[in-house]
Structure 1
């Protein structure tokens, strides 16, 4: 009985370990799938936009993203190889444990058959039964023979089950070895593709370095445009917040007597509504809340981190914050948001419902739309055209314009502000 318990325990541990590894396997496969989607999207947009032979900053940004995705692909493949090594080691250990259990059961079964063959020469089953001294003893001997037969059947069943599990482990192990070898070959192929991308990157950088003077002029214009954008949005937010303060001030009663009268009047109204209709207070509160949310476009924007829809279908070509210029050595560039490259004339959509706070035209960034979501604001810069108007209520994913060209590629600059603080938009965007 102890051997059977040990066998069941071993099988359970094997299954639990397998389930845990499957979870790691599922996570890895999901990451590989997302990375392949990124690679496909960059290739698609590049094929649609980079038809001109002239090198551009937008092109080098896209190539840089391709290199990053390709490096991720290789790293994920290497992780897969390491995970397979762990899986193979566990399969081999489980296989050894099962083989040990099988040998033990086979030995035990052989001993049982041997004992039975020796006893069969001395006394038959019928003789064993009818040699009982009483009916009670006859019954006990019968139950013993019945249990003995069942035990033999159970032994055979366990031997067969373990044998099948061993065969399955051997098949799985072989499949893992084949998969591992295929991944090793894939890493070699992808490494060559990565080298080709880096060579292409070097050629574009070399070509752009010959236009250093032009690039510096463009960088100055770009910095001026971003400074203008920062000023326009800050002023629009300040104006809106001042207007809110004025509105709040006007609503405050001028004297205590007026305030007390207003409170008494409100209490009378509430009592009257309670008498006329059940649950009227809850309905009034719900209606006021809904109207307020609709008016300021709040709708709990702060709880939408990692859930926001993308403003345009594309890939992040320039990240948030300060980093080295992609071509000019020794120069830094700062981004208050993220740049997203997209297909030509791609629709730009509101990432969340809100109210249009401001629409401006800024040289170098074309049209800019700012949408208010309570104390949060989203900014969509470099739009070719605009489909909304100031103070207009916009819905989630409502089109507000189309993407314009910047640095030789269709690209928007997307920002998220919390009052006057600029946030990194990337962690706020959900999966596509």
Structure 2
């Protein structure tokens, strides 16, 4: 992280264009709301730890701001759910109206059937109707008509019963939806009150921190020095690994060339002594090694190339280096949360988490470095072919240099500073190029 003081106000970066996303289902919204409430609980726990010191801190401000963002997401999610419920209520009310109209029509038709049947209600009238037939076929037709008429009347009565039951079910569902809507409205009101409280709390912390401007600037200078030491260490270890891999590749190439020459000499019947190393051949090998060391990337073996390719294929889906937490400081340049006209540049992401949280490797690889950097605590550097991941601000390490680690394996424990903030810095490098870790980590 590099800190720069600007003479004027910092011009904001270009806002990212919002892409229209497809509408989410009610089930998706409910699932997202549960996940968001879980994030609020995690953030509240982290915030409580920063408040134990009874003093305002940047870590406390970061936790409040994260909680504000999540809280706004909850309210937005509830608003979307309310729109779904309102649509359901309107559709159900329309269906209830249609069912009532159908029930009215069925009852009217049934009334006409009953009125007609009442005219032939006694057996004498039915017999007269049957025996008044002019032929036997007409008699059968009239008998079939009476039976069908009775069946239609019974079917009509059953249809009315079913329609009434359907109407009752619709009314019950409508009442349930209205109750759900009322409950969500109350929840939304409560969440908005919480949001207002958080904004007040945020303003109070910013006011307190503004009064500590001098100490904040001293802290920034100290952090700049610590990060410079970390940058130098990372650059040194990457250069050393590039050089080591280059020398190893040169040695392998020289050995392969010597084996080829020995095979050719044996086939020609020459004495093996003629193929022994000479000062000239040794000088050629040294020159080749020196030339190889001037490359700017790690020379890969087939095994390390496979590992690097696998790491690259997992771009955007790597696990987080801690199980719980949120990004408190993003990659790249951004304004200081309190100090005006101050821009900080972060080479990784800072993830604020719980005290004592285990730090995990995000991918399988080899531990390249375990070191202590003043101001950054213990740092661990893991190599994945020509990719490197860096974990800083650790209290302790549980792995050693040269050790092979697997994805999600615990490699250390996050440290907690004097202000009660527990934070790990995570970086991703490709050879000597610094990458944005957010493009590599999966969604929490």
Considering the TM-score relative to the shorter chain, is it more than 0.5? Answer: yes
- Gaps of at least 5 residues in structure 2 are 1-22, 265-300
> Which one of the candidate residues 270, 293, 300 is aligned to 2:310?
300
Counterpart of 2:196 in structure 1 is 195
Residue 416 (structure 1) aligned with residue 428 (structure 2): yes
1:386-406 deviation line (CA, Å, top 9, x unaligned)? 111122111232211111124
Shift of 1:174: 2.2
> Which one of the candidate residues 117, 121, 126 is aligned to 1:124?
126
1:113-133 deviation line (CA, Å, top 9, x unaligned)? 444444667963896599595
> Which one of the candidate residues 254, 257, 263 is aligned to 2:257?
254
* Number of aligned residues: 380
Distance 2:245 2:142 in 1: 95
Larger Rg: 2
- Gaps of at least 5 residues in structure 1 are 1-20, 262-290
Counterpart of 1:383 in structure 2 is 394
Q: CA RMSD in A?
A: 3.7
Shift of 1:293: 5.7
Contact 1:49 1:343 in 2 (8 A): no
Contact 1:299 1:373 in 2 (8 A): no
Shift of 1:343: 2.2
Counterpart of 1:107 in structure 2 is 108
1:300 is paired with a residue of what secondary structure?
A: helix
Distance 1:114 1:430 in 2: 70
Contact 1:375 1:418 in 2 (8 A): yes
Residue 312 (structure 1) aligned with residue 322 (structure 2): yes
Shift of 1:374: 3.5
CA 1:383–1:257 in structure 2 vs 1: closer, same or farther (change >3 Å)? closer
More helix by share: 1
Contact 2:336 2:342 in 1 (8 A): yes
Distance 1:155 1:69 in 2: 56
1:364 is paired with a residue of what secondary structure?
A: coil
1:79 is paired with a residue of what secondary structure?
A: helix
Shift of 1:182: 3.1
Distance 1:405 1:52 in 2: 12
1:203-239 deviation line (CA, Å, top 9, x unaligned)? 2222221221221121123233334434433443444
Counterpart of 1:73 in structure 2 is 74
Distance 2:399 2:173 in 1: 59
Distance 1:251 1:93 in 2: 80
1:355 is paired with a residue of what secondary structure?
A: strand
Counterpart of 2:8 in structure 1 is none
2:375 is paired with a residue of what secondary structure?
A: coil
Counterpart of 1:206 in structure 2 is 207
CA 1:338–1:126 in structure 2 vs 1: closer, same or farther (change >3 Å)? farther
